Amino acid sequence: MKVLVPVKRVIDYNVKARVKADGSGVDLANVKMSMNPFDEISVEQAVRMKEAGTATEIVIVSIGPAAAQETIRTALAMGGDRGILVKTDQTVEPLAVAKILKIITEQEGADIVILGKQAIDDDSNQTGQMLAALLGRSQATFASEVKIEGGKAEVTREVDGGLQTIRVNLPTVITVDLRLNEPRYASLPNIMKARKKPIDEKTPEDYGVDITPRLKVLKTTEPPVRTAGVKVESVQELVAKLRNEAGVI
């Protein structure tokens, strides 16, 4: 069974994002970039499936600038077999990503595509769902447990207020949530080995996909600064403040 794992290069989750002076977006100049944390979980899931003998090959795909090759290498060091870099310096919105992934999934004959539930830069949470729709395949989103058995996937999903378990037919598209697993760190020998694994280089034009953005960013702003708290002396004072100042009771 072939597994495709799309990984996105995003601003590192430890970096405090700063808005560009002209408000046109987040400043990414000289900022640490890493693999989207949810995509590390997808890679880990695919590698565990290969270790269990369920998956035979893991193909890693990234759509982005030349530096996204590093992200692919990280996934290869974790256990991916080979990579495809779809190189572009333009912003690629979820629909365009899904269209490119659809063609790659079909060309590769991938039985399962495992994506992150969302990329932490734009928090879109759209690509997996769009990909499943474009492919006409089943989808199991927000997975916190995945079992593959007899041509089906049993997936426990994190939904509001609890867990839901569904069974979907293969081929399918799965998006992973935070609790599915704890991704491994790539060992030094595996990082060295990953350098020799092949990465194909393509462009969106190779797939005939028009990636022109359909959305226009009107403005980007910093979140409001939190004002300092105050200490109250008594419950009475707290209640009075909640009633008279905050107006919440």
Residues that bind ligand AMP in the complex, under the rule CB under 6 A: 6-8, 36, 38-39, 61-64, 92, 94, 97, 115-116, 118-119, 122, 124-128
Tokens coding 163: 């867990």
For ligand AMP, the closer of residues 122 and 241 by Cβ is 122
Residues ≥6 apart with Cβ < 8 Å to 106: 135
- 3-class SS shares of the chain: helix, strand, coil, % to 5: 30, 30, 40
- Minimum CB separation of residue 13 from ligand AMP in Å reads 13
DSSP 22: T
Nearer to ligand AMP, 126 or 190 (CB): 126
Q: Nearest approach, Cβ of 102 to ligand AMP (angstroms)?
A: 12
Residue 9 C-beta: closest distance to ligand AMP, Å: 8
State how far the Cα of 82 lies from the Cα of 75, in Å rounded to an integer. Answer: 9
Smallest distance, ligand AMP to C-beta of residue 42, A:
6
Q: Which of 172, 163, 95 is nearest to 136 (CA)?
A: 172
**Least Cβ distance, residue 88 to ligand AMP (angstroms):** 9
- Residue closer to ligand AMP (CB basis): 8 or 50: 8
CA distances from 53 to 1, 167, 187, 202 (A): 9, 20, 21, 30
Assess contact for 97 and 63: CB atoms under 8 A: yes
Of the pair 39, 156, the CB lying nearest ligand AMP is at: 39
Chain residue whose CB lies nearest ligand AMP = 116
CA distance 135 to 149: 22
Whose Cβ is closer to ligand AMP: residue 110's or residue 115's?
115
**Least Å distance between CB 96 and ligand AMP?**
9
Question: Looking at beta carbons only, is 39 or 81 nearer to ligand AMP?
Answer: 39
Whole-number Å distance between alpha carbons of 58 and 94: 22
Angle CA(194)–CA(200)–CA(203) in degrees, nearest 5?
A: 135
